[in-house]
Amino acid sequence: MGDDRRVALVTGASRGIGAAIAVRLARDGCDVAINWLREKARDNEAEAATVAEQVRAMDVDAICVEADITDRDAVNAMVRRVEEALGPIAVLVSNAGITRDRTLRKLPPEDWDRVLEVNLTGAFNCMRAVVDGMTERGWGRIISISSVVALMGNFGQTNYAASKAGLLGLTKSLAREVALKGVTVNAVAPGFIATEMTAAIPHDVTEQIVATIPMGAMGEPIDVANAVAFLASDEARYITGHVLSVNGGVWM
């Protein structure tokens, strides 16, 4: 780690919005730890390694750290590994998230549990693992990726909307708890962003969604990453407990 470089940990950073955030923070001079999840279905390790290469191309350090954020021991071990390799974590971006969409009447209870576990409890696990170090050092940035559906609700997403709305309560409460310690806690609420998550939505439904967006198009991962980079910067020092919408005007 360079003397004046900050270390950022980004969860779910092997692709999509998380990958864009990792590279964007690197552009601002952060060393970056890229969290990825071992899956049987796809080679996330190789994807995370590709993101690490893109980070190192910005002349900063990168490491890839495997952990399921719902596993508290794995999260604590990940934080220790990052701090040994790169130094104290100054910026946490809780980005990892999943959807399991069904109307409430048809929603299998285990899909309720898993979405809350990953999107909300996973973020809690990561915050819990880093917050003491940040308050002791007197500087920190905790940024969680919520969603526009936390604010407006969405058909077929009771579990996802509840998890993302829960993140806002978590964010605002922790913001109050650590406000005197130099740590800010904020959320970014993206609208519809072109990633694999939204590519799973049927084409006709996507067209209907885009028709409701005042700016007439989905956002790109970099649009979210730019908002995160601002909240992570020194310039955002007086902003805490805020929910920053990045949604093309779809919800105001």
The residues that are catalytic are 160
Of 64, 86, 115, 118, the one binding ligand NAP by CB under 6 A: 118
Least distance (Å) from ligand NAP to the CB of residue 12? 3
Least distance (Å) from ligand NAP to the CB of residue 144? 8
Least distance (Å) from ligand NAP to the CB of residue 181? 26
Residue that has been written with the tokens 């950022």 in this structure:
8
Per CB under 6 A, 145 contacts ligand NAP: yes
| Residue span 211-240 as binding mask against ligand NAP, x where in contact by CB under 6 A, dash where not | ------------------------------
Helix H, strand E, coil C: the string for 195-216 is CHHHHCCCHHHHHHHHHCCCCC
Per CB under 6 A, 16 contacts ligand NAP: yes
Per CB under 6 A, 166 contacts ligand NAP: no
Per CB under 6 A, 11 contacts ligand NAP: yes
> Which of the 8 DSSP states describes residue 177?
H
Of 9, 30, 63, 96, the one binding ligand NAP by CB under 6 A: 96
Per CB under 6 A, 190 contacts ligand NAP: yes
Q: What is the bridge-based pairing of β-strands 31-36 and 7-10?
A: parallel
Per CB under 6 A, 197 contacts ligand NAP: yes
Of 7, 8, 10, 12, the one binding ligand NAP by CB under 6 A: 12
Strand order in the sheet with 183-190: 62-66, 31-36, 7-10, 89-94, 140-145, 183-190, 243-246
Question: CB-based burial of residue 64 (10 Å sphere; 0-12 exposed, 13-18 middle, 19+ buried)?
Answer: buried
Q: Containing H/E element for 187?
A: strand 183-190
Are 75 and 37 in contact, with CB atoms under 8 Å apart?
no
| Residue span 21-60 as binding mask against ligand NAP, x where in contact by CB under 6 A, dash where not | --------------x-x-x----x----------------
Nearer to ligand NAP, 14 or 184 (CB): 14
What's phi and psi for 51, nearest 5 deg? -65, -40
Per CB under 6 A, 165 contacts ligand NAP: no
Collect all residues with Cβ–Cβ distance below 8 Å to 60 and sequence separation of at least 6: 2, 5, 26, 29, 30, 31, 32
Per CB under 6 A, 15 contacts ligand NAP: yes
CA pair distance 229, 252, nearest whole angstrom:
22
The stretch near ligand NAP (CB under 6 A) out of 6-14, 54-62, 178-186, 227-235 is: 6-14
Torsion angle of C-alpha atoms 53, 223, 191, 146, degrees rounded to 10: 60
Applying CB under 6 A, which residues contact ligand NAP? 11-12, 14-18, 35, 37, 39, 44, 68-70, 95-98, 118, 122, 145, 147, 190, 192-193, 195-198
